[in-house]
Chain A
Amino acid sequence: MANLKELNKRKEVLCGGHRMCAGCGAPIIVRQMGLSQEIPLVVGSATGCLEVSTTPNPFTAWNCSFVHCAFENSAATVSGAEAAYRSLRHRGKVKEEMRFVALGGDGGTYDIGLQSLSGMLERGQRILYLCYNNEAYMNTGVQRSSATPRGTQTTTAPVGLKSIGKKQYPKDLTGIAVAHRIPFVATASPSHWNDLITKSQKALSVDGPAFMNVISPCPLGWAYPSEKTIEIAKLAVDTCFWPLYEVENGNSWKLSYKPAAKKPITDYLKAQGRFRHLLRPENASVVEEIQKRVDDDWAALLKRCGVEA
């Protein structure tokens, strides 16, 4: 468990002055993750909002070592850095202990970087891969990704006379990570900062790969006022749209949080412009279907975690 008083004394990985949008979930998530550690970090990031906005030459917002290479290879790039660390430690050329984190948005993780991520998880390298999941390609202007929820308005799967926005449900990337039977997999939300920090701590203390899928509200792409980020992240958790759980070694499932009263999905949908069209009467069946999917997934998760409904 993280202690606010203690955390307050720690050095942040990201300093102020970066160019992320006001209210963006990503830097909040990265700072929370960074607070989990006193051991210095090497952070790598895929191309995306976070990378372009934190490293405009000749400036950098990173207080720790940072590397960006390209879009689809955050996991492979950090794999190289981690291999170098092991080699140079073994050869006595690096003395200090360090920890390794690869970051990517959902585009860089669910889609174009999936192969690189899978390779990293399979090789068993001691790296935390953290996906800040804002559920679309935000850096290029809100195009759909395989993490985008069904019924979302995006610029490449737009709402139209004959379209409800994105047709498909997102893939279960967390499940894919679990299937690699790595030491630690978890979902998290910046609204539950203590949970996120504790999970990051755990992820960076296991001797092998860890994967965290963190929901990252985006005021621009999700169309809500920028001060509502944490509120919306909390709604995602309280509607069980984004349940919080962790899985050790591919088989030990643990629920991190059970809402006292599970809220209806409409509470989540109506708070965001990207779902506005779903609230029209003609789309009632879509909302119903989404609610059923959330309920089924939640029931299955509770069962896996051995928690009574």
Chain B
Amino acid sequence: MSKKLLALTGNDAAAYAMKQINPDVVAAYPITPQTSLMEKFAQFVADGELDTEIVLVESEHSAMSACVGASSAGARVMTATSSQGLALMWEIVYIASSYRLPIVMPLVNRALSGPINIHCDHSDAMGIRDSGWIQLWAENAQEVYDNLLQAIRIAENSDILLPVVVNYDGFIISHAIENMYLYDDAEVKKFVGEYKPKYTLLDPKKPTTFGGFDLPDYYFEHRRQMADAMTKSAKVIADVAKEFSKICGREYKSIEGYKLEDAEVAIVALGSTVGTARAVVDDLREKGIKAGLLKIRMFRPFPENEIADALKHLKAIAVLDRADALNAVGGPLFDEIRAALYKKSTIPVVNYVYGLGGRDMGLLEINKVYSDLAEIAKTGRAKDLVTYLGVRD
């Protein structure tokens, strides 16, 4: 294990991961806040630091299409996008996973239009939650880097062969500079290994058809196989994390609690807000309040039982959603956590929709959530199931 400490932005961290992965093909299109990642990567290629074939396409739809073509041809393939870019490639996002192509994509989370907005929320990622892509979420630049390196191994595992999206918050993580560790090139190269596809377009001795037409007698089985691979991937993700711990020094988990074991109330969240919430938890703990925190790192496959187990001892739970389902019952993370707890506990669970379009989520807002939770824990009743946090009425 050898590593060096550097101050990097999240996008730089992703570009370094891609440089060390040295994919065969990268196809991409510029979009804020992903741009500085692809600019940095293109500079690495321009300077001859790696020899990836970059396809600079005319849209994200073509970016994902080129990824499908390249991955069908047996290449190790990456792209990156945000928000509208993902929305435009949405059609092909589903096709990539159904062809079982191990494409890896950093997704720099940004609000979906409209109104048009370039800042962080999670509505882009939630739009592909049922697409058959494995979803990992990063709390900071270090996790962007670490998750991307692990994503290659997860996606390309021959029992899985599903694409992986690595989420991180636009601007908050992508553009903020943090101290983080980069690992030795040779160690990373050895860890990511080589992709050896079973079928490719580039083997004339074994001509293969990709993307055949499924009628009702095959489609359902193919979708079911995807669901099975998704279920199986949880173990692979854990195994890869174990192996990766030899490089990074810690073992990534699908969910990670913070001061959760003896907590009475807790927040569940994705992304950079987890980092802010840690500070609030520390502060509350000093005041003798038993606050805790649960970070979801692996959103797909959804670790239902682990979540239910981690939360079972609490008196009140708040799920934070940086995406709204607009008058469904709360946000998407809330829906799924509530479903995970259904019939396993009677703990009151409430939802806070926050930070849409880059609205700040500071210590003050998170403190309010914990104080609401304290009240709910005391009375056993929640006044509101869903609260919009930090919005003007």
User: Which residues from chain A contact B25 at a C-beta distance below 8 Å?
Assistant: 80, 83-84, 87
Contact A87 B69 (CB under 8 A): no
B249 in the interface, Cβ–Cβ < 8 Å? Answer: no
Q: Mark B276-310, 1 if CB is under 8 A from A, else 0.
A: 00000000000000000000000000000000000
Q: Which of B52, B73, B91 contacts A80 (CB 8 A)?
A: B73
Known: A69-B69, A70-B65, A115-B62. A123 touches B215 (CB 8 A): no
Interface centre among A40, A62, A64, A70 (most CB of B within 10 A): A70
What CA separation (Å) do A195 and B214 show in the bound complex?
A: 36
In residues 110-142 of chain B, which contact A (Cβ within 8 Å)? none
A308 in the interface, Cβ–Cβ < 8 Å? Answer: no
* CB-nearest residue of chain B to A65: B201
A226 in the interface, Cβ–Cβ < 8 Å? Answer: no
Contact A91 B51 (CB under 8 A): yes
A275 in the interface, Cβ–Cβ < 8 Å? Answer: no
Q: Mark A276-292, 1 if CB is under 8 A from B, else 0.
A: 00000000000000000
B317 in the interface, Cβ–Cβ < 8 Å? Answer: no
- Closest-CB distance, A194 to chain B (whole angstroms): 26
User: Which residues from chain A contact B200 at a C-beta distance below 8 Å?
Assistant: 65
Contact B52 A87 (CB under 8 A): yes
B82 in the interface, Cβ–Cβ < 8 Å? Answer: no
A293 in the interface, Cβ–Cβ < 8 Å? Answer: no
What CA separation (Å) do A176 and B66 show in the bound complex?
A: 22
Stretch at the interface among B31-39, B171-179, B203-211: B203-211
Q: How large is the interface on B (under 10, 10 to 19, 20 to 34, 35 or more residues)?
A: 35 or more
Total contacting residues, chain A, CB less than 8 A: 48
Interface centre among A62, A80, A96 (most CB of B within 10 A): A80
Contact B61 A73 (CB under 8 A): yes
Contact A118 B204 (CB under 8 A): no
What CA separation (Å) do A66 and B208 show in the bound complex?
A: 6
What CA separation (Å) do A57 and B223 show in the bound complex?
A: 14
A44 in the interface, Cβ–Cβ < 8 Å? Answer: yes
Known: A68-B212, A72-B61, A115-B62. A80 touches B51 (CB 8 A): no
- Closest-CB distance, A42 to chain B (whole angstroms): 5
A78 in the interface, Cβ–Cβ < 8 Å? Answer: yes
B58 in the interface, Cβ–Cβ < 8 Å? Answer: yes
A12 in the interface, Cβ–Cβ < 8 Å? Answer: no
What CA separation (Å) do A56 and B61 show in the bound complex?
A: 25
Listed by A's residue number, 6 A-B pairs whose Cβ atoms lie within 8 Å are A62-B207, A65-B207, A76-B65, A81-B201, A84-B202, A115-B58
Known: A77-B69, A90-B53, A123-B56. 4 other contacts (CB 8 A): A83-B75, A84-B25, A85-B202, A94-B74
